[in-house]
Structure 1
């Protein structure tokens, strides 16, 4: 955990570096687990980029639809985290909460899989080049299967984290990532984007099998319950659905940005795919820290402790994002050559590095504040900021891309990220101030 209540004793004033040290040491397994997934994504992007620009662009367009759909499923499951966090001494209750959360994610996953299957239609409507659409193959079908698997069996790792068993997450993430990387190296050169899809589905099935086995072992419970509990599902839906909707809005907008980049040509779409892949690497700290922060904010003994936890998390992700941005500012072209040898794609990506750096810092800090708001069970405010910020982005991205190309598109994306972060910071401070009472060990 970032900081347990056992560390904050009555009358003990916590020194500033301690939350940062606790976060870096006790949740280091989450960084490794997230890093494993990013490695697989980078390998796939690199292999496709060195094969053909059109293949990389096709992968980017299908992923642009998959990402918000997967976010909707994971958001629905993440709604259980503040509730599971209060059950660390009662793991059997935590397992029951996960079962209830999966009824919610199953509905989201079924709808999302249908959307992924419609990717070719979406691409045609979005004006994607024909040579890019021709590369899709069976990738939409494979990604839809991945969504369904995640909806039925997902959430086990999140429950383990909320229960304070973060180290067990590595036992599912590392082997599944190793299998995915091996399959990518074997299948992608011959099968193209379809090989990437097969690798992802296989990896997902393995990860879900291991993580659910570990959770059942920890909780001593049985598997899927045929009897949903409507009241508990509704309680988690009040937290999970706004978070799910927030992620859908965010990643739908980012997916639309990918399609706007594709309208500038295959080279623009490929450059955007490379940058977003690197954004995932730099954003690893925010994903791991945010996942760990939510249950700790939910268990914080006082509003002051909640603020201290948030400050520590923001310090970590800001440092990580700044470090990644500085590396690209200095060695950007060398890094981009790992993904593509196309000179036009390289030039476009290098020119966008300053905007990329600002967007990454703002976006990563936004992920942390969004996780903190969910820990306070105020995820509806997070949805409001996403609707306004990304709504404005949706209005201006096409004119900006048409007028100023990729530079205009990334300027709009960066400004939207900064505006959303500012709004989240104001809302978090306000809600923590209002959380002056404590009930059951939770900030309310």
Structure 2
């Protein structure tokens, strides 16, 4: 008869303790994301005052830039669980960080190529010549920004994986402050100095990405377990980079699917009418602000779950996800309650059209249902990231959002915005079932052999 092996020690799974640690780690990330979103509004405001053609060119470029940067960021999230696995071993962590930088460069180059193609996309799409002429060097400045941001993401993903979210906040806030200051001065000018218009906005965004990346890499080199170690790139290790990509690329694909289908919903809403299109846009913006909290919480759970993954402690892994679910649900309910109470002044910030405000108010219950279901599915998705198994998320998204995309046009014709948002809530609810089921199944496979009945 064999000898029973002693199980690896694992941390406690106190629910209140995990929730408290999740909140502490997630709050700086959420504040960083909100500040970045608010900073992005400054560009829209100052360009709108500069020239309508500049604002139109800005919107065209951002239609490619936003999903490109989100996709790159999604790919880089795949680095987080590998970093968290070596948070106390700098010798093992260093090659992971270097390989993560190479993954950032590769994905950044792809994203940059997409943004560089904006003039061709606009030409093929029939965009007016006045808008195309206003583009100038702006797409190329933003292409450089995508690449720089990807390199910065390699550092911020490492910091998140190490549980150093305050350093991420420092980098993000510094970059956002620089973007706001430079946009206000470069676009319209100061005093007798003429502004640069759209190129000024591009310079501001590129400088912001560069500053954020420098601060993040400085924090990584000076204030973590890697302090004093050389973080030069070195030569890429193809197998190791592909291993990181095996987790990150499905995440990037999932982000692309979500962006594409939400775009389909926006087109379907526009077919209903101008007011409906405006109301839909406002509702999407409100949901995005609240959903950001779930993304921050999901990222915060990854380093908290790493010790359980090392110990092959399935109970701990599931407790970590439950803590994320409780925290995310509490956050979106709180934010949703604030929105419900302050709905009139909040909606007035978005539009003065009473018809559009009325439609958003009518959608409010569905809007809150959508953000709650989206938040919960996201946390289970981050649970799959933590155990380095992200293909199930891609499959579930492809099925649920694929059906939603096919149904969008008929639903908008039959029931308008209400039908669209009800369908979105149902798709998110199915995502919860799918991602939770896959997480339960795949995490169960990680049980240590000594914990399996019959093995001694």
Q: TM-score range by the shorter chain?
A: 0.7 to 0.9
In 2, Cα distance between equivalents of 1:258 and 1:55: 23
Give the secondary structure class of the aligned counterpart of 1:87: coil
Alignment of 1:111-150 (within 5 A): 111-119=110-118, 122=121, 140-150=139-149
Deviates more, 1:419-428 or 1:51-60: 51-60
Q: Report the CA distance between 1:135 and its aligned residue.
A: 8.0
The residue that corresponds to 2:250 in the other structure is 242
Aligned-CA RMSD value: 3.5
Q: 1:20 to 1:368 in 2, by over 3 A?
A: same
Please say if residues 31 and 288 of structure 1, whose CA atoms lie closer than 8 Å, have aligned partners that are also in contact: yes
In 1, Cα distance between equivalents of 2:63 and 2:402: 17
Alignment of 1:361-440 (within 5 A): 361-437=372-448
Alignment of 1:245-394 (within 5 A): 245-262=253-270, 268-300=276-308, 301=311, 302-394=313-405
Please say if residues 247 and 385 of structure 2, whose CA atoms lie closer than 8 Å, have aligned partners that are also in contact: yes
Q: Report the CA distance between 1:424 and its aligned residue.
A: 0.8
Deviations 1:360-419 (A, max 9, x none): 111111221111101111111111111111111221223333454444433333322222
The residue that corresponds to 1:73 in the other structure is 72
Q: Report the CA distance between 1:117 and its aligned residue.
A: 3.8
In 1, Cα distance between equivalents of 2:323 and 2:146: 33
Alignment of 1:38-77 (within 5 A): 38-44=37-43, 62-77=61-76
Deviations 1:296-352 (A, max 9, x none): 323313111111111111111111112222333333231022233344543443333
The residue that corresponds to 2:205 in the other structure is 200
Q: Report the CA distance between 1:269 and its aligned residue.
A: 4.7
Deviations 1:104-146 (A, max 9, x none): 3333322222333444665687788999889877654443332
Deviations 1:270-320 (A, max 9, x none): 444433332232123212111121233233131111111111111111111
Count of aligned positions: 431
Give the secondary structure class of the aligned counterpart of 1:29: helix
Alignment of 1:7-18 (within 5 A): 14-18=13-17
Q: 1:340 to 1:111 in 2, by over 3 A?
A: same
1:175 aligns with 2:174: yes
In 1, Cα distance between equivalents of 2:382 and 2:253: 14
In 1, Cα distance between equivalents of 2:449 and 2:171: 36
Please say if residues 71 and 256 of structure 2, whose CA atoms lie closer than 8 Å, have aligned partners that are also in contact: yes
Q: Report the CA distance between 1:224 and its aligned residue.
A: 3.9
Give the secondary structure class of the aligned counterpart of 1:424: helix
Q: Report the CA distance between 1:432 and its aligned residue.
A: 2.3
In 2, Cα distance between equivalents of 1:381 and 1:50: 46
Q: Report the CA distance between 1:59 and its aligned residue.
A: 5.9
Q: 1:67 to 1:415 in 2, by over 3 A?
A: farther
Kindly name which structure, 1 or 2, has the bigger radius of gyration based on alpha carbons: 2
The residue that corresponds to 2:214 in the other structure is 209
The residue that corresponds to 1:3 in the other structure is none
Q: 1:147 to 1:401 in 2, by over 3 A?
A: farther
Q: Report the CA distance between 1:235 and its aligned residue.
A: 1.7
Deviations 1:239-273 (A, max 9, x none): 12222222222222223333444555665554444
Deviations 1:191-218 (A, max 9, x none): 8876654443221111011111221234
In 1, Cα distance between equivalents of 2:358 and 2:375: 25
Q: 1:210 to 1:384 in 2, by over 3 A?
A: same
In 2, Cα distance between equivalents of 1:326 and 1:54: 39
Deviations 1:152-181 (A, max 9, x none): 442201101212333222221121122223
In 2, Cα distance between equivalents of 1:335 and 1:186: 28
Q: 1:289 to 1:422 in 2, by over 3 A?
A: same
Q: Report the CA distance between 1:19 and its aligned residue.
A: 1.1
TM-score, scaled relative to structure 1: 0.83
Gaps in structure 2 of 5+ consecutive residues: 1-7, 189-194, 451-456
